[in-house]
Structure 1
Amino acid sequence: MLTLKESTLVLAKIRVHHGNAPITDLEARTFHEELRSDLTLQEALEAVKRFYADNSTGRWCGSGDINGIVRKLRNGAKPSEAQIGRECERLGLVEDQAWLYRRQRMMGRSPDESRRVALTARDPLRLPSAKPKRRREDGGFNPGLGVALDEVLATRRPAES
């Protein structure tokens, strides 16, 4: 995640392309808030570089442009299904392990990290067993009125005094 100082550096790089316009505190904070929360400084600087390399309109690079370029870069870096299949075969992963490995790779994790997760997970598709519910001593119905549940449901007549 970018710090405010790093995002201001990115904004300064943008401003270089437009005559070094001064940056106010509000502009820096707003720009920082609008950037993706998982963005790195290198990705943001690369996005600005790519924006101005292709920009022929004279338009300013904004936080949305940076977010979009980084999304495209990350999606382009993801391996293809065929490549992931070859990696699973090479690692000897089968069934659930291969599924978990594929999921980790598509989330952008490295092959080593994905392999570690796939091999250390017990059973990625298994739900944890349900915990038994605690039983109440008084049958579970206690309106505080001194009335039994079957009296409320009209299955038994109240005891006459």
Structure 2
Amino acid sequence: MTTQNAIEWPEKYLPGTGDNFVSNEVIVQGPTAAAVWHHLTDTSEWEGYYDNVADISFPQGGGPELKDGLVFSFGTFGFPPLDARVVRFQAPAEGVPGRLSWTARQDGTPEERLDVLHAWLVEDLPGGRVRILTQETQIGQPAAALAAERPNPMLNGHQAWLDGLVRAAAQ
């Protein structure tokens, strides 16, 4: 029997307790966790393989590579640029999955406020396979509205991100 690693959630963002939650996963042969990690954590790569992200900036300096505590901003899903902070950064290693999480916020009226945790897990599996899991919990009225849309734009958008990430890492 094989047990897969899971994303570790802070209580505030526990899946199913917010207004919107999605989970996307791929397991493919070819790219390594290290190759995937590079394309995931170097934000200068994002717009080359994912068309639902724009206006990436680093208001306190740093970047384009993500690291623990880094503050950045980006636009996605039609929202104005969200203020984000990396809250978990653990590169993949032999027998250890890569873990990346950031919080993102949008302030304003109750109709505008959004609070997000986007988490990633990247790990090598036996047989030359890599597993990429991304999950996101969103809290706020914009999140509830997004969750009610069909087809689900966040589920489909994150799948496009995964598909593009795999293509980029396989090159």
TM-score in same-fold range (> 0.5): no
Q: Which has the larger radius of gyration?
A: 1
**TM-score (normalizing by structure 1):** 0.21
Ranked by relative contact order (alpha carbons within 8 Å, sequence separation 6 or more), the top structure is 2
The structure carrying a bigger helix percent of its residues is 1
